[in-house]
Chain A
Amino acid sequence: NAGVTQTPKFQVLKTGQSMTLQCAQDMNHEYMSWYRQDPGMGLRLIHYSVGAGITDQGEVPNGYNVSRSTTEDFPLRLLSAAPSQTSVYFCASSFRGVSDTQYFGPGTRLTVL
């Protein structure tokens, strides 16, 4: 199993550009989530999904969109990038939810100029 994969590893955007961060898992997990981590800080939940076709907002959803058309994939879209979205983004998956072990991807380091 590859576990949780994320692409790209690094990305530089200009203010106003849009892009999609990709996340995929091959463990048949129902629960997937996106976090952002700013320097020296803990992780903050952006969006999560409890299964294909079902998504919900986390702590900091503004400026981000998600969709879950398959169990395996959970892309995160930045609609109009802003410098405040400069961060490291982690995708995670688990079988059910927070009471289950969450497996994290390697992260995407995003810089918005």
Chain B
Amino acid sequence: LAKTTQPISMDSYEGQEVNITCSHNNIATNDYITWYQQFPSQGPRFIIQGYKTKVTNEVASLFIPADRKSSTLSLPRVSLSDTAVYYCLVGGANTGGFKTIFGAGTRLFVKA
């Protein structure tokens, strides 16, 4: 399974764009990159998933360079309610993908 490395914490202000980068140097050809968000006392919630280049949904964008050794979750114009822990996961069905390994995540704190 590809190991992921993320910053432990980040601070931001309301209205700013926040970019959280995840390193996954050992990503395999069949691996997908998935990001989850977790609020206190709740289970993680899916944000976005991608394989290459750029993926955008109503919540976030995910940028993946050509070598796929890293990825960046972009949250546009964050609000106080975006304060949460964000997890980057890498895996796929052909690379032990049934075992999901969550790292420590990135704790984002949005200030007014």
Contact = CB atoms under 8 A, between A and B. Distances in A.
A35 B102 contact: yes
Interface string B27-42: 0000010101000011
Interface in A27-83: 31, 33, 35, 41-45, 48, 50, 56, 58-59
Interface residues of B, number: 25
Contact of B43 (A41, A45, A56, A107): A107
Contact of A43 (B46, B92, B102): B102
Contacts of A56: 98
A88 to B, nearest CB: 8
Contacts of B105: 42
Contacts, number: 74
A33 B46 contact: no
Contact of B101 (A50, A59, A96, A104): A59
B46 A99 contact: no
B interface secondary structure, majority: loop
B43 A97 contact: no
B104 interface: yes
Contacts of B97: 97-99
Interface residues of A, number: 28
B104 A99 contact: no
Interface of A: 4, 31, 33, 35, 41-45, 48, 50, 56, 58-59, 88, 90, 92, 96-99, 101-107
15 contacts: A33-B100, A42-B85, A42-B104, A45-B102, A48-B98, A50-B98, A92-B43, A97-B92, A98-B89, A98-B97, A98-B100, A99-B91, A101-B46, A103-B46, A107-B43
Interface of B: 32, 34, 36, 41-46, 49, 85, 87, 89, 91-93, 97-105
